[in-house]
Amino acid sequence: MDINKLRKIIDGIDDEILRLLNGRVDIAREIGKMKSAGKKDIWVPQREKNILKRLLKKNRGNLKDKDLVEIFQNILNVSRSMQKNPGIAYLGPEATFTHLAAIKSFGKNCNFIPVKTISDVFCEVSKGRVDYGVVPVENSTEGVVSYTLDMFVESELKICSESLLKVSHNLLSRQKDCRKINRVYSHPQAIAQCRNWIEENLQNAKIVEVASTAEAASCAGKQPESAAIASTLAAQLYKLNIVAAGIEDNIQNYTRFLVIGKKYGKRSGDDKTSILFSLKDRVGALHGMLAPFSANRINLTKVESRPSKKKAWDYIFFVDFAGHVDDANVKKALKGLEKECVMLEVLGSYPRSEQI
């Protein structure tokens, strides 16, 4: 069979894919109308996760799993946008890694609202000016984002979803030669994550800390002998050259982001739950906190403490663990934990992100 005949076969397959995609979108719009009439959420992350999980199990061809997920995630995003174009607040400005995480979670067709602080993200969602918010919570190199954890103490918002984003830093500039750069702008965390590379390649450059990697790109765009450490999206937005790509010291550099809203969803079958609590001041209190999880065979994935800010040496604990709050063993564990606590709050149960 010659190449022209093969191409005709592909054209026929493409026509069929187009017909099926339009049919899928039409059904999605009908579902959107039903959701709207019943005042149900347009975005159902556990449903989307189960769709992808089902398709991955059925994938027996040459299509790689990661490519299948990318294709169908785009289909899900487009189908959702036909139902409603949700408003998403994120820690801005445009082209930050939080912006990239928001696009990863919701697709490109949403109404993205950049705000200046993490507090502003919580405020926009709480007041109903947007449907969801996206905030960073921890980095695999630099640790937790303390301010995000602190905001959950004050807020009634819930965690609806999580997303892991591989953070790859690039040196961006109007220049094309590293040797002509005398000043480098970036966010303190990005600078810290690229410190070895900077010391080896930009020994004579002045390092300037700014509020975000996007602001750094903006500064570099205005000064011909300066550069920024930022994302490839920032390079596109501010029309900068990528002088050096992937300059982070640790290639396993991931940031975890949370999607926050007014309620969390039902079980997907592969979930994580986040809680916060404060313990009674007595000997063995921390051991008593761990016992209900061990007894119910629940895997703790993170334990973090923060000062309560109410009195000295008084702490609030944040814990992530595998399972959903509606699971029988989780209910038993939380009931046992509650006996040890002054305060206990479930921040959310949500589909677990892809594993690294």
Q: State how far the Cα of 232 lies from the Cα of 244, in Å rounded to an integer.
A: 11
Residue 255 annotated to the active site: yes
Beta strands in the chain (DSSP E): 87-91, 111-115, 132-139, 143-144, 158-166, 170-173, 183-186, 206-209, 226-230, 241-245, 254-261, 271-279, 300-307, 315-322, 341-351
Q: State how far the Cα of 110 lies from the Cα of 167, in Å rounded to an integer.
A: 22
Q: Exactly one of 148, 213, 255, 273 is catalytic; which is it?
A: 255
Backbone angles phi, psi at 57, to 5 degrees: -65, -30
Q: Exactly one of 112, 257, 277, 321 is catalytic; which is it?
A: 257
Distances (CA, A) of 17 to 11, 13, 22, 214, 236: 10, 6, 9, 38, 31
Residue 257 annotated to the active site: yes
Give the dihedral of Cα atoms 28, 29, 33, 35; nearest 10 deg: 30
Residues forming the active site? 255, 257
